[in-house]
């Protein structure tokens, strides 16, 4: 089957170098295999979307030399998510953030692993407040879900019931949750290979469980390292890391930045790099 990959930015601000490196790798991954490449704006969290960020993201990507065959916006695909939610076994949850925190603290065995596990408070209808707006939580299967990661060669397994708990698929303000939308979109868009930041690795088992329940195929996964600043902090849009737009408008050359991004991955390139060189390097160092 031929490869279809995607880059899925959230248009919430200016891209930083870490975003751009992931975008470059996603493009290399699709194109090095002669595959299709998609751009999908993940803009379901309306409060965080910045209208200008769509075009700035496109400009940043084009400037680096990246292209794509089709573009999507999640905000235009709400019927698909609604249909998927209907097919899941969900229940309404009206707990506030504070109530959730208390419930997690009181639940047996707390504190758990790296993230709080939802203890299932709202499974009992007596714990629901019909007068409040309700989120929908998916009753996760009690099974271990394993995912192989192509980038580091590791397989991670998670028991969703004990390590994650029933998670939100539609928020109380009506917005569809990221995990749900991503799973529906990757399947509907025929995505075979997901290359994205390593911060999403531990979210992948819940996405795979959703795929299985909805009858979708599971793509191959590649979770690439996040870029950190000199102090070792992960780059973030909020943290004042230099934006790609600023570098571009400040006269930085794309060929130089491509070389720097490649070097940051430990690849041997000169001071300037074209995309053909990087495609060859990607085939040799990652795909072979
Ligand atoms: N929209 C997510 C982000 O910007 C990426 C989601 C994905 O690639 O699955 O971090």
Mean pLDDT of 26-53: 97
Q: How does pLDDT run across 252-266, given as a tens digit for each residue? A: 999 999 999 999 999
* Segment 198-208 mean pLDDT: 96
The pLDDT > 90 percentage for the chain reads 79
User: CA angle at residue 238 from 174 to 111, to 5 degrees?
Assistant: 65
pLDDT band at 230 (very low <50, low <70, confident <90, very high): low
**Band (231; pLDDT cuts 50, 70, 90):** low
Residue with CA closest to ligand 1 atom 5: 8
In this structure, what token pair is assigned to residue 34? Answer: 């002669």
Residue 94: strand, helix, or coil: coil
Please enumerate in sequence order all residues whose Cβ is within 8 A of that of 201, keeping only pairs 6 or more positions apart, or say none. 147, 149, 156, 221, 223
* Residue-averaged pLDDT of the chain: 91
Residue 149, pLDDT > 60, answer yes
Q: Is the pLDDT of residue 280 over 80?
A: yes
Ligand 1 site, residue 9, Cβ cutoff 6 A: yes
Q: Please give the Cα distance from 231 to 48 (Å, whole number).
A: 27
Task: Verify whether ligand 1 is closer than 6 Å to residue 19 (CB atom).
Answer: no
Query: Is 42 one of the annotated binding-site residues?
Result: yes
* For range 127-139, the mean pLDDT: 86
Q: Is residue 176 a known part of a binding site?
A: no
Q: Which atom of ligand 1 is nearest to the CA of 6?
A: 8
Quote the pTM value: 0.92
Q: Does the beta carbon of 196 sit less than 6 angstroms from any atom of ligand 1?
A: yes
Which pLDDT does position 229 carry in this prediction? 63
User: What is the pLDDT, as a whole number, of residue 236?
Assistant: 66
User: What pLDDT, on the 0 to 100 scale, is given for residue 113?
Assistant: 56
Indicate if ligand 1 lies below 6 Å from the C-beta of 281.
no
Write out pLDDT tens, residues 41-59.
999 999 999 999 999 999 9
Atom index in ligand 1 nearest the CA of residue 7 equals: 8
**Residue 122 annotated as part of some ligand binding site:** yes
CA of 118 to the centre of ligand 1 (A): 23
Over 90: is that where the pLDDT of 283 sits?
Answer: yes
**255 among the known binding-site residues?**
no
Report pLDDT digits (tens) over 74-117. Answer: 999 999 999 999 999 999 998 777 777 777 776 655 454 567 78
């Amino acid at each position: 089957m031929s490869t279809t990959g995607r880059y899925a930015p959230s248009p919430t601000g200016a891209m930083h170098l870490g975003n751009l490196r992931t975008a470059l790798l996603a493009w290399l991954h699709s194109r090095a295999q002669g595959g299709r490449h998609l751009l999908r704006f993940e803009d379901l969290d309306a409060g965080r979307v910045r209208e200008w960020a769509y075009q700035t993201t496109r400009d940043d990507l084009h400037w680096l030399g990246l292209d794509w065959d089709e573009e999507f916006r999640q905000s235009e695909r709400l019927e698909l998510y609604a249909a998927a939610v209907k097919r899941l076994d969900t229940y309404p949850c009206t707990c506030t953030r504070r109530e959730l925190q208390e419930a997690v603290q009181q639940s047996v065995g707390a504190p758990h692993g790296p993230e709080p596990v939802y203890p299932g408070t709202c499974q009992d209808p007596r714990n629901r407040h019909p007068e409040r707006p309700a989120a929908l939580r998916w009753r996760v299967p009690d099974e271990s879900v394993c995912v192989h990661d192509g980038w580091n060669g590791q397989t991670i397994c998670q028991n969703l019931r004990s390590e994650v708990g029933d998670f939100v698929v539609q928020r109380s303000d009506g917005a569809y949750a990221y995990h749900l939308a991503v799973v529906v979109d990757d399947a509907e868009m025929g995505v075979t290979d997901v290359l994205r930041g390593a911060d999403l690795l531990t979210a992948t088992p819940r996405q795979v469980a959703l795929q299985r329940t909805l009858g979708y195929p599971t793509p191959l996964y590649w979770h690439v390292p996040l870029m950190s600043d000199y102090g070792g902090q992960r780059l973030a849009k909020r943290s004042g890391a230099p934006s790609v737009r600023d570098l571009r408008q400040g006269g930085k050359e794309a060929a130089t930045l491509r070389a720097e991004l490649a070097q940051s991955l430990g690849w041997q390139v000169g001071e300037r790099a074209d995309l053909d060189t990087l495609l060859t390097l990607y085939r040799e160092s990652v795909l072979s």
